Amino acid sequence: MNVVQGGGAALLNPGWLHSVLRARGLPLLPVETLREAAAQLRPEQAEALRQACMALQSGTDTMAQMDRVADFVRCARPEHRAALRAAGLSDDVGALLAAQAAMGTPALLAALRALPDAAVVEVLRPHLGAASADEPAPVPVAVAPRERFSRAEGEPEWPPEDAIPDEDDWPPPDEAFDALPPPPAPAPAPAPPPAAGAAGAAAGQPARVLPRGHHVYGAKAALRVEEDRWRTDDPVRCHTLRLEVAQALGERRYDWEHKIAVQLTARELPGFAAVLLNLLPQLAAQGHGPVNDKWFELRRQAGGVLVRVGQGRRGCAVPVAAGDLYELTLLALDALKANAPRADTAQVMAALQALSGS
């Protein structure tokens, strides 16, 4: 199990937590920073965070679990904790998470950014209490971008996106789409073959792996396409893809904490594959998410495909060129073949060609 005992409370293994953050593209904090923050969690907070991290690692996470991990990272950031101590307030991460639950995430983040404003200090004091006099303030450190964002010497520059409109100018797709309602919850699916275990995993604990997927990094946003499963009682016809986008925060840094995620329905998956294979010029869908405000669009353009994913009027566009297009096409074809195990690749391709009328 990925927890160790210490100080009478269950503490998350910081090395394992660091590896989960890196694998899912969340902002990285130093291992020692994570160790200190995890040690301050209440037992129920540590257990909830452990469950959320296990779900992220196995690719079965919900948006609530992603939010739980992102909230922990926000509260553990050294610059926030230093600002609290400079204002004479406790920087205890467990207390910060409790304050976040009581105040709401937007209100807490606004308060942290407004420190050391005296009125804000008085708002936070009932939740956090006074700082301990014998504990030094943490030294702010830069949040490390994911290592895979680095571009090796001699590699081409990031793809141009001059033709992509600003997100505020994007309306959702106008095309109507008959989205399928989410089916009932499935029985647990067989786990994929285990890969190397995450750092800090205890001996005897089965290794958990992330779903197979592929990242596409652009100058303004990043896209991840990964294998996913529908919630259905059918153990065979349950395979699909999940699209996730995140805005760029700076050079090769992306805001995965506030990603937009969409799962393709049974009617969308073949169309998605057909656009990637240049059998259809475009695909647009809307009505996704708990309040039906998420949407996505693919359209062919010179040299590849432009993928747009959004929620309401907020969205990201990522151009997909030849090399990345190949990887996404394989993911889509594999999902279609997994849903029809008796069909070979030629039969799947013939079915997709029927979508284009060719």
Residues 17 and 68: beta-carbon distance below 8 Å: no
Q: Where are the alpha helices (DSSP H) in 12-160?
A: 14-23, 31-39, 43-58, 63-76, 78-86, 93-103, 105-114, 118-128
What pLDDT, on the 0 to 100 scale, is given for residue 352? 92
How high is the pLDDT of residue 210?
61
Question: Rounded CA gap, 218 and 6, in Å?
Answer: 43
In this predicted structure, what is the pLDDT of residue 255?
93
Dist CA 298 CA 283 (whole Å):
5
8: left (phi over 0), alpha (psi -120 to 50) or beta: left
Neighbours of 232 (CB within 10 A): 16
Cα distances from 100 to residues 68, 108, 110, 152, 250, in angstroms, run 11, 6, 11, 40, 27
CATH 2.30.31.10 range(s) for the chain read: 170-356
Calpha distance 303→326 (Å, rounded): 12
pLDDT (0 to 100) of residue 13: 83
Distance, in Å, from the CA atom of 39 to the CA atom of 21, rounded to the nearest integer, reads: 17
CA atoms of 342 and 174, how far apart (whole Å): 37
Q: Which tokens belong to 204? A: 């005897």
Domain 170-356, CATH 2.30.31.10 — does that match? yes
- Dist. CA 285–CA 296, nearest whole Å: 6
- pLDDT given for residue 301 in this prediction: 92
Q: What is the pLDDT of residue 67?
A: 82
Whole-prediction pTM value?
Answer: 0.46
Block means of pLDDT (10 residues each) for the chain, 358 residues, are 39 78 75 88 89 76 81 88 89 90 86 87 88 55 39 36 39 39 44 45 48 90 93 83 94 90 92 94 91 92 93 93 92 93 90 82
Q: How much is the pLDDT for 18?
A: 81
